[in-house]
Amino acid sequence: MGRRMTSEGYATITAEIAFLWEEERPRIVEEVYEAAQLGDRSENAAYIYGKKRLREIDSRLGFLRRQIENVQVIDLSQQRNRDTIDFGALVTLLNVSDDAPEDIEPVIYRIVDQMESDPAQNKLSIQSPLGRALMGKRIEDDVNLSLPKGPVIYEILNVQYGPESIEASSDLYSE
């Protein structure tokens, strides 16, 4: 089995590929062509920049295509609830470390691929230390992490699957 990726993450990457290949690259090719028509290319800034930009686009296209090669696309709406944490789960954690503040709120993460990871949206990479430590755990299990700032212990409060958003799940803990 290849790497797993949500259908949302897959769609985002394929949309970027389409934009670069169908819009951005043809536009830059046209700019390079027009700059080349001006003559001396050795001192032609538009030509030099355009060629550099084409290399960047081609490099990005190659990178993105490799990222979606052999991926297993997971539709979150088709996932069934289960007791253990796996890819796509919404996991509610509480920091229960000795030095954690008393009034600390639980945090909810969606377990996703590293290409989809976004801390600002609470999307946690399955390849991250915390993501790896959570795999296979259950509600009420503790997860011990050794971080540069010191050890951290999380208690797993909830595990759920499906398309429900992180915001909707966090409303359960804010009441």
Question: What is the residue-wise DSSP string for 111-170?
Answer: EE-TTT-BGGGTEEETTSHHHHHHTT--TT-EEEEEETTEEEEEEEEEEE-SS--HHHHH
Mean pLDDT is lowest, of 2-6, 131-135, 163-167, 171-175, for 171-175
Residue type for position 2: G
Q: Average pLDDT, whole number, for the chain?
A: 89
Q: Is the pLDDT of residue 144 over 80?
A: yes
Mean pLDDT is lowest, of 64-73, 108-117, 157-166, for 157-166
Q: Is the pLDDT of residue 42 over 90?
A: no
Cα–Cα distance for residue pair 41/137, rounded to 1 Å: 61
pLDDT of residue 165: 62
Binning pLDDT at 50, 70 and 90, where does residue 104 land?
confident
Query: Which element (helix H / strand E) includes 74?
Result: strand 72-74
Length of the chain: 175
Q: Is the pLDDT of residue 93 over 60?
A: yes
Higher pLDDT pick, 99 / 68: 68
Q: Angle at CA 101, nearest 5°, toward 120 and 130?
A: 45
3 state DSSP class of 93:
strand
What average pLDDT does this structure show over 72-94?
Answer: 92
Q: Is the pLDDT of residue 85 over 90?
A: yes
| Inter-CA distances, 118 with 74, 83, 103, 137, Å | 18, 25, 25, 22
pLDDT of residue 98: 80
pLDDT of residue 171: 56
Q: Which of 22, 4, 8, 120 is nearest to 73 (CA)?
A: 4
Alpha helices by DSSP H, 25-111:
25-36, 45-68
Q: What token pair was written down for 173?
A: 């803990």
What average pLDDT does this structure show over 165-173?
Answer: 57
pLDDT of residue 32: 93
pLDDT of residue 101: 81
Q: Is the pLDDT of residue 175 over 50?
A: no
